[in-house]
Structure 1
Amino acid sequence: MGAGLEPDAGYEDLVRERREAILSRLEEACARSGRTTSEVLVEAVSKTVGPEAVVAAMRAGYEAFGENRPQELVRKLDALSAAGIEAPRFDMIGNLQTNKINQVLGRAHLIHSISSSHLAEAVSKRAERGGLRVPVLLECNVSGEASKSGFSPDEARAAAEGLAALPGITLEGIMTMAPAHDADAARRTFSGLRELANDLRRRTGLGLPTLSCGMSDDFTIAVEEGATLVRLGRIAFSSDYAL
């Protein structure tokens, strides 16, 4: 693996050591909440690193990656393909504009950032036109911060049944981001997401198995509150991030 994309050996060691530390913290958080590590997918957010770092992370054991820009998702996949490397799972986790949908369809395993009914309908139409069924998450602004996009919990409740019925997409769950640098607010946000998911399951009859929440600073809290997917960038890839 990695012909033409050979990572620096020291950097590869760094990524492996950090993954071991992450998995140790994950195990502790699961133990505190009566869960097992098999219930949580650790996704490496590769938006700020190059394809060589993705190769290092694959060698360390990561099987899922997240990108926040469609053009960067395409660039990484093309680089891996050119190097003869079978691409791992890549998710689209960032803002998705309607004019970028075609870059993501057929490439992203899961779109985390369906932030409006308009976007859901646009993805549905493009996917149906291409004969695809695309797994998606509703982005929910559980914390209510004006700086964050997404459905409010009430908007999600009102829209969920209609969105679940759209052709071309499959509603797999919901996603949120917590306020930065505030552990108590993060816990309230993540528990709120869990409660919202339960409500949406009752309304739609869907399993909604994926709760995507928790990042480098707060992923252990997210796991304690029910996250099934955590999105880790700096802690996974940056030597500047203090463990």
Structure 2
Amino acid sequence: MSFQEIRAEIGADKILAVSKLQPVAKIRDLYNQGQRRFGENYVQEALDKKEQLKDLTDIEWHLIGHLQKNKAKHVVGQFHLIHSVDSLELAQTLNRQCETKNVAQRILIQVNLAHEESKTGFDKQTVIQRWAEICQLPHLIIDGLMTMPPLTESGEEVRRYFIELRELQQNLAKATDTERHPLKKLSMGTSNDYKVAIQEGATLVRLGTILFGARD
């Protein structure tokens, strides 16, 4: 399926092109086809690409990979959205760096719904328990939630995690000043399961190989 077919199927505003380890030429090519949102996993690689593509002034760069606290100072104010805020400590660190640089940073809260040890993220109950503390951090804007369910062959196998994240979003919204923290975005779904994710309310699906093809 081509980029234009996927775009027509789910809407351009829902596609986040995962460009990690992809050459700048491929990013530029997809940009020329109309894609504007790109997601990177590694901080230095992302900053290098940002510099190389600074002529494309309307690109939206998203950080989607695990972020170590000691790299927080390099990312605040550099990304439209950080998807992978996976602990209260990381949120607090980002907030301090934002204060230092006098910027606000939009974030998503990453939730590990499947309790996979190989993946980071808040436990669902921990999110609920610490939500008020996260919301009180003055320099962060919580745009929504993110999850990475187990990798499977079928989207149907992970539908329940997408439903669970949507329901968590709805429940948290009841206890949130949504003027301050919009909590509208759900980043969930990849090339294997994006159709099911869209059905269950995803506002951003992270698509890599299906858009870029195999890496060189």
TM range (shorter): over 0.9
The 8 Å contact of residues 155 and 195 in structure 2, kept in 1 or not, is answered as no
CA separation in 1, counterparts of 2:117 and 2:214?
32
Deviation at 1:205, TM superposition (A): 3.2
CA separation in 1, counterparts of 2:21 and 2:196?
24
Which 5+ residue runs of structure 2 have no aligned equivalent? none
CA separation in 2, counterparts of 1:87 and 1:97?
27
C-alpha RMSD of the superposition: 1.6
The 8 Å contact of residues 112 and 136 in structure 1, kept in 2 or not, is answered as yes
Counterpart for residue 183 of structure 1: 155
Counterpart for residue 23 of structure 1: 7
Give the AA of the match of 2:4. E
Deviation at 1:48, TM superposition (A): 2.0
- When Rg is computed on C-alpha atoms for both structures, the one with the higher figure is 1
CA separation in 2, counterparts of 1:63 and 1:85?
9
CA separation in 1, counterparts of 2:73 and 2:2?
34
Aligned mate of 2:89, from 114, 118, 131: 118
Counterpart for residue 174 of structure 2: 202
Task: Please give the secondary structure, in 2, of the residue aligned with 1:203.
Answer: coil
Counterpart for residue 148 of structure 1: 119
CA separation in 1, counterparts of 2:188 and 2:163?
10
CA separation in 1, counterparts of 2:79 and 2:211?
21
Which shows bigger deviation, 217-226 or 146-155?
A: 146-155
Deviation at 1:239, TM superposition (A): 4.8
Change (3 A) 1:239 1:70: closer
Task: Please give the secondary structure, in 1, of the residue aligned with 2:191.
Answer: coil
CA separation in 1, counterparts of 2:35 and 2:130?
34
Give the AA of the match of 1:205. D
Counterpart for residue 161 of structure 1: 132
- Name segments (4+ residues, structure 1) moved above 3 Å: none
Structure showing the higher helix proportion among its residues: 1
Counterpart for residue 3 of structure 1: none
The 8 Å contact of residues 155 and 194 in structure 2, kept in 1 or not, is answered as no
The 8 Å contact of residues 178 and 186 in structure 1, kept in 2 or not, is answered as yes
TM-score by length of 1: 0.82
Task: Please give the secondary structure, in 2, of the residue aligned with 1:111.
Answer: strand
The 8 Å contact of residues 95 and 113 in structure 1, kept in 2 or not, is answered as yes
Counterpart for residue 33 of structure 1: none
Give the AA of the match of 1:109. H
1:234 and 2:209 correspond? yes
**% same residue:** 34
Give the AA of the match of 2:7. L
TM-score by length of 2: 0.92
